[in-house]
Structure 1
Amino acid sequence: MKDTGKAVIIGGGIMGLASAYYLLKSGWKVTLVDKGDLSDNCSQGNAGMIVPSHFIPLAAPGMISKGIKWMFNSRSPFYVKPSLDFSLISWGLKFMKSATQANVERAAPFLRDYHLLSKQLYEDLAKEEGFDFGLEKKGILMLYKTEKAGEEEIHVGKDAQKLGLDVEMLSKEQVQDIEPDIKLDVLGAVHYHCDAHLYPYALFTQLLKYIKANGGEVITNAEVTGYQISGGEIKSVETSHGNIGGDLIIMTGGSWLPQLSKLAGLSIPVMPGKGYSFMEPNAEHKIVHPALLIEARVAVTPMNGHVRFGGTMELAALNNQINMNRVEGIVNSIPQYYPELNVEVPAKEKIWYGFRPCSPDGLPYLGYSKKLKNLIVAGGHGMMGISLGPATGKMVAELANRTALSANIKLYNPERYN
């Protein structure tokens, strides 16, 4: 395969790894640089859900009123830590402006196609030698306990059907039939057969192994400190390990995207939405299907012989503190849906946390910079990082190679807030 050039990828989360995979496949030399050791990025500890069901962006009608109701309760599913931080205020104002029905209707078909492309790419990747990351296509159950939540979920489910997604409305008896080993206390569920799930740790380990085995260079514990820019291009990335030159720069970086982009003279607003998760054995009362506990906003995913419970969205400045109130909120919600599960609050060392990179309009950033012509931005995927990873990586390679794109990215302009 011909040598296409050298790509420098900033960030070792799912967007960075998937971009490296597809760029290597298409003949690029790749150097991936990350400020950490690749053990603590947001994608690894998440629920592992592939979600065409998530065609509604975070910035949607009703989120503001829910957010105001929840924001002062530190155990609630959504919590905004009170702050006079300008970036949080600025992000919040943009979010309020975007939380409209028009935004939802405009975005839905684009997000649907993006997710469906990614799901197909996961199916293709699972057939590749060296890849076995627990991909299962059992769908995801949206479990609800109240009439109000049920009405809302069924309404969304019908919208999903209009978009051509495979969705089924289930009574509480039908839900119990497909979860025979554990008692459920719900009114019903919406079953998104179009969804799937995987084991993130295995996926990351295998992608990293592939990258290294195919000539990719991985530089860890190297913080980006600036860029050498000339003639409207980034000539090299300045890091704490020295300068790294390249023909093409791909800026991922997750929740650190605003700082990375600011160093290049760009404004790409992202707020870190901290989430927590922990694992429990999937033993006596076995859970078969991944689920979202709707009122509690908690994700439940069987993986690798265990069940991962995760949730909460805590908008605040980047910090390494574990808010045990948030974790207790997740734990307390579990027996409300699965009354046979008596989950203890885990010890701090067993709690994982990560930051979802949330854009103000709930849409990702993907595409070339207009200001810096050899820069591609791929970030701001919020809670949909794992789901959209392969599609993002494939389209980064297509952008790099100036070939036709596999999905329409016109809504994802990375400089839409400049």
Structure 2
Amino acid sequence: MAKQKVIIIGAGVTGLFSAYYLLHEGYEVTLIDKGNLKDNCSLGNAGMIVPSHFIPLAAPGMISKGIKWMFNSRSPFYVKPSLNPELLRWGIQFWKHANTKHVATSAEPLRDFHLLSKGLYNSLASESAIEFGLQHKGILMLYKNAEIGKEEVHVAQQAKDLGLNVDILNSAQVQELEPHVELDVAGAVHYQCDSHLYPNQLVQNMIKYLKEKDVSIITNSAITSIDIKNNRINAVHTTLQKYEADLFVLTGGAWLPELAKKAGLPIPLMPGKGYSFMHQPGERQIIHPALLLEAKVAVTPMNSQVRFGGTMEIAPVNNKINMKRVEGIWNAIPQYYRNYKVAMPQPDEIWYGFRPCSPDGLPYLGYTNKIENLIVAGGHGMMGVSLAPATGKMVAQLASGQQTLMDISLFSPDRFA
């Protein structure tokens, strides 16, 4: 009996993990991507696996913070004012979901999603030839301001109530964890439940593994149209040719709405542009990944270097590097790591990518009611690397008609239809 054919549209980290688990379920898998895989959004990612991130982006206070930050060119969060109808629709839904009820409803499912991924990463690291630098040092939420500290301690208590492993530290205790650098912080919350990895190595080795297992990866092939008949996709057309399959998986990253529209699906999503750059620290190595809370900057030791990243710029996709946003990241570093010398990166040293942000801050995962042989898997925002294995595993379970490892009803791709 011939293997069932699956086409995955989008070869980002979610697409790669979907291919990995579908392959292990016995499917013949083809990945199609509009790019060359060298600008994959996950390549510049902070590489954090974050059960600590059980609060979605759409949360109380984000609207007022966003309005305040709009007037600061170096702020960590920015929505570019526009009459773009998609942005307006996205903004209305974000406003509707930025409340305590939504946060409470989302907390346990997001926690479970991340913990499932963490377990799958652990299995992958122990059982597979795929290397990706997995480390379990937790993540430090560093704060300078007492008010911010109070808020973070409150979140830490919620995390403990959810069964997560969390420590609340004073400035001296944090300094003990980082003996090679001088910290200038009031304290930290140490999410020992979190982990980190080297995303560049993960993506490159996943691609290598899949190619060795005869997964077809077709690059530089944008989807131009989708053939649908009797509520089923028969084929997709690219700039090169036509491809037929039994089942289709739509990932697509920040381009998900554009692809969904070709299938007649309304899936709201806006690209959240972020920047990162690498630093060679020498002897003054930072040991633990951290989030600099007031500045919203991520710090990750990886591959003997340190990656600094941040900003969330909600605007249409563009290829401009906003140096003021990068300066905002760079300026934050010595405010937390006193006398830690990092050169301001040059434009050719700066990575940027587009996180796929849904208006309620939750991913999309599941079949859509409109097309019976299409699974949607995307909209992970800043949590793409953290949620990729669990997403891929459940895509394979959905394809095989199995019960998914957790309830995914909250993540339905039809929830805004």
TM-score range, shorter chain: over 0.9
Q: Which residue of 2 is the match for residue 234 of structure 1?
A: 233
Which SS does the other structure have where 1:390 is aligned?
Answer: helix
Aligned pairs for 1:141-290 (under 5 A) are 141-290=140-289
Measure, in 1, the Cα distance between the counterparts of 2:292 and 2:283: 21
Instruction: Report the identity percentage.
Output: 61
Q: Which residue of 2 is the match for residue 125 of structure 1?
A: 124
Q: Which residue of 2 is the match for residue 32 of structure 1?
A: 31
Measure, in 1, the Cα distance between the counterparts of 2:343 and 2:75: 18
Q: Which residue of 2 is the match for residue 411 of structure 1?
A: 410
Q: Which residue of 2 is the match for residue 313 of structure 1?
A: 312
Q: Which residue of 2 is the match for residue 342 of structure 1?
A: 341
CA contact 2:130–2:209 (8 Å) conserved in 1:
no
| Equivalent residue letter for 2:85 | F
Which SS does the other structure have where 2:324 is aligned?
Answer: helix
Would the alpha carbon gap of residues 4 and 112 (structure 1) be closer, same or farther in structure 2, given more than 3 Å must change? farther
Residue 282 of structure 1, CA deviation: 2.8
Which SS does the other structure have where 1:396 is aligned?
Answer: helix
Which SS does the other structure have where 1:329 is aligned?
Answer: helix
Residue 171 of structure 1, CA deviation: 0.5
Q: Which residue of 2 is the match for residue 80 of structure 1?
A: 79
Measure, in 2, the Cα distance between the counterparts of 1:80 and 1:341: 31
- CA RMSD after TM alignment: 0.8
Q: Which residue of 1 is the match for residue 50 of structure 2?
A: 51
Q: Which of 126-135 and 173-182 deviates more?
A: 126-135
Measure, in 2, the Cα distance between the counterparts of 1:211 and 1:347: 35
Which SS does the other structure have where 1:31 is aligned?
Answer: strand
Measure, in 2, the Cα distance between the counterparts of 1:176 and 1:162: 27
Measure, in 1, the Cα distance between the counterparts of 2:153 and 2:269: 31
Residue 241 of structure 1, CA deviation: 1.3
Q: Which residue of 2 is the match for residue 299 of structure 1?
A: 298
Residue 344 of structure 1, CA deviation: 2.0
TM-score (norm 1): 0.99
Q: Deviation per CA, 1:283-302, whole angstroms, max 9, x where unpaired?
A: 22110000000000000000
| Equivalent residue letter for 2:216 | E
Which SS does the other structure have where 1:44 is aligned?
Answer: helix
Which SS does the other structure have where 1:111 is aligned?
Answer: helix
Q: Which of 393-402 and 75-84 deviates more?
A: 75-84
Residue 34 of structure 1, CA deviation: 0.2
Measure, in 2, the Cα distance between the counterparts of 1:93 and 1:343: 40
| Equivalent residue letter for 1:340 | N
Q: Which of 169-178 and 75-84 deviates more?
A: 75-84
| Equivalent residue letter for 2:202 | L
| Equivalent residue letter for 2:100 | Q
Q: Which of 76-85 and 366-375 deviates more?
A: 76-85
| Equivalent residue letter for 2:74 | R
Which SS does the other structure have where 1:389 is aligned?
Answer: helix
Q: Deviation per CA, 1:28-77, whole angstroms, max 9, x where unpaired?
A: 00000000001102111110000000000000001111111101211000
Aligned pairs for 1:332-371 (under 5 A) are 332-371=331-370
Measure, in 2, the Cα distance between the counterparts of 1:44 and 1:368: 28
Which SS does the other structure have where 1:88 is aligned?
Answer: helix
Residue 129 of structure 1, CA deviation: 3.4
Which SS does the other structure have where 1:95 is aligned?
Answer: helix
Measure, in 2, the Cα distance between the counterparts of 1:51 and 1:282: 25
Q: Deviation per CA, 1:372-408, whole angstroms, max 9, x where unpaired?
A: 0000000000000000000000000000000111111
Aligned pairs for 1:102-121 (under 5 A) are 102-121=101-120
Measure, in 2, the Cα distance between the counterparts of 1:339 and 1:168: 23
| Equivalent residue letter for 1:264 | A
| Equivalent residue letter for 2:72 | N
CA contact 1:366–1:412 (8 Å) conserved in 2:
yes
Q: Which residue of 1 is the match for residue 96 of structure 2?
A: 97
Q: Deviation per CA, 1:191-247, whole angstroms, max 9, x where unpaired?
A: 000000000011011111111111100000000011111111001111111111000
TM-score (norm 2): 0.99
Measure, in 2, the Cα distance between the counterparts of 1:290 and 1:389: 20
Measure, in 2, the Cα distance between the counterparts of 1:182 and 1:114: 34
Q: Deviation per CA, 1:84-106, whole angstroms, max 9, x where unpaired?
A: 11111111111000101000000
Residue 342 of structure 1, CA deviation: 2.1
Q: Deviation per CA, 1:170-206, whole angstroms, max 9, x where unpaired?
A: 0000000011110000000000000000000110111
Any unmatched runs of 5+ in structure 2? none
Aligned pairs, how many?
417
Which SS does the other structure have where 1:43 is aligned?
Answer: helix
Any unmatched runs of 5+ in structure 1? none
Measure, in 1, the Cα distance between the counterparts of 2:2 and 2:71: 55
